[in-house]
Amino acid sequence: MQLARRIEPALALIQGAVTGRDRFDPATARHTFTLGMSDDLETALLPRLLAATAGLPGIRIAVRQANRNTVAELLDRGEIDLGIAAAPAHGPDHRTEDLFSSGYTCLFSPRLLPLPTPLGLDDYLAHPHLLISYDGRRGIVDDLLDARGLTRRVIASTTHFAGAALHLTTLPALATLPTHAATVYAGTLGLTATEPPLPMPRYTVSAIWHATVTDDPAHTWLRHLVSRTEPPVPPAQPGTGSGDPDRDHGPPRPPRADNSAAGQGDWA
């Protein structure tokens, strides 16, 4: 299987040179590209990718649920063409490219929780939280609070960032999400977005692919498309409640139980 994967691109290049298919024209091509990423990244990137390919009738984009621990295996099995994750785990047969930097944002419903912003630590700890986590136990916020001898009250957990954001429209609760997704959720769902009241790390989101397709014309075009697609930009003054959301998953922590379920980094 590995040998076949290694020689397949070389055979394809030879065939392309003979048949004239060693070039890729997105305007005339009929091609489905499958991306592997978590739902927070899908929220931030897919609408922009679709807008960029709207004038290319033969181009289709499919998304598979993936996280930083699973993208490499999906690539090796040929189930996705490109993975997008925070600090994706990878081996010598993979290549990566940094795409953008993100961080964390706190979201809540101003109708159900009329809290002042920037959010203070007392308010942050006084109200219940939704946790986005693979195992439902804890996230990076809990680690940071532990270091200060503090705790928060988590009333529910989910593996999906979009689900947590939707639940906030009916629950007087807080959720800490990746900023790139929180920005979208805040604007779409009428939520307040503000910086968390404790220092939180930033992290880099990267593209990852199998080395054997690096010189493939269609894949090269895909990587250029993705690298030019940036997530929504939060408002200039985060923490004003105008819609600058951050998320609950970010830079990878030293592994304990796999808490990075649907996303590429840590959960909050």
Coil/strand/helix, residue 90: coil
Beta strands 31-37; 59-65: pairing state: parallel
Question: What integer pLDDT is reported at residue 175 of this predicted model?
Answer: 98
Q: pLDDT higher for 238 or 20?
A: 20
Phi/psi for 24 (5° steps) reads -130, 120
- Report the distance separating Cα 129 and Cα 108, nearest Å: 10
Q: How confident is the model at residue 2 (pLDDT cuts 50, 70, 90)?
A: low
What does the block give as tokens for 229? 């697609």
Q: How confident is the model at residue 258 (pLDDT cuts 50, 70, 90)?
A: very low
Among the listed residues 78, 66, 61, the one whose alpha carbon sits nearest the alpha carbon of residue 37 = 66
Q: pLDDT higher for 182 or 234?
A: 182
pLDDT tens, position by position, 203-221: 999 999 999 999 999 999 9
pLDDT tens, position by position, 21-71: 579 999 999 999 999 999 999 999 999 999 999 999 999 999 999 999 999
Helices within 62-120 (DSSP H only): 71-76
Alpha-carbon torsion 184, 252, 102, 122, what sign?
positive
- Report the distance separating Cα 199 and Cα 141, nearest Å: 10
pLDDT tens, position by position, 98-133: 999 999 999 999 999 999 999 999 999 999 999 998
Mean per-residue pLDDT for 2-16?
A: 52
Question: What integer pLDDT is reported at residue 16 of this predicted model?
Answer: 52
Question: What integer pLDDT is reported at residue 123 of this predicted model?
Answer: 97
The overall average pLDDT reported for the chain is 85
- Report the distance separating Cα 81 and Cα 35, nearest Å: 6
Mean per-residue pLDDT for 190-202?
A: 96
pLDDT at 226 over 90: yes
DSSP bridge pairs for 157: 131
The CATH class of 2-99+203-227 is alpha beta
Task: Write out the H or E segment, with its range, that includes residue 39.
Answer: helix 39-52
Cα separation values, 118 from 9, 43, 142, Å: 52, 25, 20
Mean per-residue pLDDT for 178-183?
A: 97
Q: What is the pTM of this model?
A: 0.82
